[in-house]
Amino acid sequence: MAGEPLVQDTASEPTYTSYEALEPLQPDPASYEGLLRSLDWKVQFSTLTVLRQVCKHQRELFFQLAEQLLPLLVALSDSIRSNLSKNALLLLTEMFLEPHPAHAQMAEMLVPGLLQKTVCEKTFLKQQAAAALRNLCREASSPVVLQQLGSLCWHKSGVICDNAFLYLKIAYERAETGEVFRSATALLNSKRKKIEAGATSTLRSMQTLPQFPALLATLDPTLRAQVDRALLVRPGAAQAKDIRSFIEERKKTLQENN
């Protein structure tokens, strides 16, 4: 039957299909939107698995469909039914396993929700959202994604701030140098010490690049002075950091032994 899912229901819960077990199928594109809107959550779950099959074996077709289906996939990834959420997150993770031209536009719709999901209470959903976001940042880094993650580094939740910067650093790996520079300089004022230190470290690692002087020249005097201060390594700073690290590790050891 066209679109027949691999998922088999148990007495009460469907089971997840591993990526390796996703087999080719004869797709039925016209049916997917209606099935995803079904009031029967098991139909929705099975349809997500079918779309995972299509994504793996017929990627061009999948990305044609995804333009229309993505809002539904985002909504299902945040479903109060954790099994629906997990299967939708699996699909979003697998979407970004390999590069595709459609990634950049789709990534912009996904970043805020996925980042929020990385702090949810259920560990298995948190881990799957993190996997999806890692793949997205590796394969779909774009100026808009950097801007979104950079903005989320100022979130009222400290955990979300730190997570946003964690994925921002992954996105930096494939981003254009100028975009990384602008993103990092914007975070030098962060009240989160981890983010401020990370932004400083990023800028210091860029100093040897041939285009770095030209990038510095684009800054207004106030921001230029701030960057210059960040790039200046204070005498004894490394030693002080080592001492602090030693004290923190010592405290941790004492706590564990008590």
> What would the pLDDT profile of 124-153 be if each residue is shown by its tens digit?
999 999 999 999 999 988 888 999 999 999
Distance from the first to the final alpha carbon of the chain: 63
49, 17 contact by CB (below 8 A): yes
Q: What six digits make up the tokens of 184? A: 């990092």
Has this prediction a pTM greater than 0.75?
yes
Instruction: Indicate whether 243 pLDDT > 80.
Output: no
Tally of CB atoms within 10 A around 178: 13
Q: What is the pLDDT of residue 12?
A: 64
> What would the pLDDT profile of 162-187 be if each residue is shown by its tens digit?
999 999 999 999 999 999 999 999 99
The sign one gets for the Cα dihedral 140, 104, 210, 241 is negative
Q: Which H helix or E strand runs over 88? A: helix 82-95
The SS3 of residue 143 is helix
Distance of CA 132 to the CA centre of its chain: 6
CA 82 to CA 41: how far, in whole Å? 11
% of the chain at pLDDT higher than 70:
85
CA 44 to CA 38: how far, in whole Å? 6
Residue tagged 């976001």 (tokens): 133
Instruction: Indicate whether 78 pLDDT > 50.
Output: yes
> What would the pLDDT profile of 117-129 be if each residue is shown by its tens digit?
999 999 999 999 9
CB burial class (10 A; 0-12, 13-18, 19+) of residue 46? Answer: buried
136, 96 contact by CB (below 8 A): yes
